[in-house]
Chains A and B, each alone.
Chain A
């Protein structure tokens, strides 16, 4: 189109994009900047340049311990969410469950329901029925929140698959289990892969559930950071956070490799 967008609008649009991207990314940039600061005070722009906070973090027992806890739980959550979520996605895709529509809503609802509800509910329920909170409690709660991501990505992949493949496999002599293993599973793999990465990321970053369901000897990394922020943070917090950001960037790159992010530009 000739002169599709008038020049003043173009300028405004550019300004808007720059401002919005700034708002979106500034906090992250700031965190990374502070992490390289030399001084003990948190300031941006950072005063001096040093890697001392990274050294401190990587040598710190507490940070390492909470990182390991976060990692352990994230791995367990990824496994559980991928298996349960993948299977559920297949069942939902086929649409032959009783109350199919309602089921889909229930399975996907943790995506929109506030996490604090799950946190409180689980705390109260578990304390009453099972007593002490444990890693198991946190694992289950994280999985409930992470599973819909796996379901959503797997459903997206299944939606684009050939609907006749299972029937064809049946006419070729494949029984139920064989159809699931040789036909359905290969179709799901891109969705399961992306979902698994989302699940890992969700669990690792998760703060609300972990805040409510914690014990003194069981702290996750985000909770550790939260604790530091409430009192007297020094740039070591920034270093930890920067490492987490780097991790996230890695995740995004891997997911893009597998699936292409465009697919998830529609919710």
Chain B
């Protein structure tokens, strides 16, 4: 576990400036996501921390030690590659043992114990003797993860590790990643272009745009208060509503005023949470329908759409609605939303 400090990093490939004066402090044990579109520099920054790219100027410190000019093997890191990069000629167990061998951590028996523990953590203990080509994509990804945590690196670097998985596997892996982070507390830098992923996993999100940091903050901060046109178009503005999640028996969110909102089936979150409901995901209907009941406070005409300000559960929320139905101030309306579009922010 260690902190990471990046100071005034500049990186160009030829005439193309990929990272333009980026400084960043990551606290020990923090889970930070580097979020942005393709080509914005986030992967390059990760590789700079890994030592796979040099910098034109600036410095990298890990745990107080300046590592800017050190090759990857001399930095106490571990990296998970998007394509997993498993060594094809070694078994799963030997793959996971590799960093322990290279970094000379422990005697052979101790190494094998650590390998077993790491594989158990990702639930692949039974596949230890297989070759990578015999595993499915999801299993390979887990091996890569086990290999990354087995040496308990000071910094764990993840380069879009979930982007090759299908949606369901991805969700499962997200939960596992959160779990592992909770247990091991490794300082983690996670690169992704998927904002929902960043929102679910991180303590802090660093939003990248054109080689610079556009905005940084907790998921809730970023999601609710995008600081710029770019940020808001990337993330989408939302209403944040405190609620408690119960399973009675299906997952349902109970608001402060007792109203209930159905959640997506299979959701495993429980307890107090913050719901994030996007303005454009909410639909308005006549009062008394199925959904939450709210009162119209104001309406803003936007041409093709109306923005309504509503009172719900003691809070003001905003909704973007089409022009076909118009509601007057003081009207009660029914708010509905696709349960799949309801986000629960737990951090």
Binding site for B on A (CB under 8 A): 162, 164-165, 167-175, 178, 182-183, 186-187
Binary A-proximity of B83-96 (CB < 8 A = 1, otherwise 0): 10101110000000
Q: List B contacts of A182 (CB < 8 A).
A: 87, 98, 102
- Whether the pair A174, B73 counts as a contact (CB closer than 8 A) is yes
| B52: Cβ under 8 A from any A Cβ | yes
**A164, A165, A171, A175, most chain B CB atoms within 10 A:** A171
Q: Is the CB of B89 within 8 A of A186?
A: yes
Q: How far is the CA of A16 from the CA of B99 in the complex (A)?
A: 58
Name the one of A171, A175, A178, A183 contacting B79, with C-beta atoms under 8 angstroms: A171
Interface residues of B in 78-130 (CB under 8 A from A): 78-79, 81, 83, 85, 87-89, 98-99, 102-103
A162 touches B85 (CB 8 A): yes
Given A172-B102, A174-B102, A187-B89, 10 further pairs, Cβ under 8 A: A168-B81, A169-B102, A170-B72, A172-B73, A173-B73, A173-B99, A175-B102, A182-B87, A182-B102, A186-B87
| B50 contact set on A, CB distance < 8 A | 171
Contact call A168/B85, Cβ cutoff below 8 A: yes
Q: Are B78 and A169 in contact (CB under 8 A)?
A: no
Q: A172-B103, A173-B103 are in contact. Are A167 and B85 (CB under 8 A)?
A: yes
Can you offer 10 A-B residue contacts whose CB atoms are under 8 A? A168-B85, A169-B102, A170-B51, A171-B157, A172-B102, A174-B98, A174-B102, A178-B73, A182-B102, A183-B87
> For the complex, is B39 an interface residue (Cβ under 8 Å from A)?
no
> From residue B109, how far is it (CB to closest CB) to chain A in Å?
19
The complex places the Cα of A187 from the Cα of B90 at a distance, in Å, of: 11
Q: Answer yes or no: B243 CB below 8 A from chain A CBs.
A: no
Which of A165, A168, A178, A182 has the most CB atoms of chain B within a 10 A radius of its CB? A168
Across the interface, do A164 and B83 meet the contact criterion of CB distance under 8 Å?
yes
- Least distance between B82 CB and chain A CB atoms (Å): 8
Q: Which of B257-306 contact A (CB under 8 A)?
A: none
Contact between chains at A164 and B85 (CB < 8 Å): yes
B83 and A178 contact, CB distance less than 8 A: no
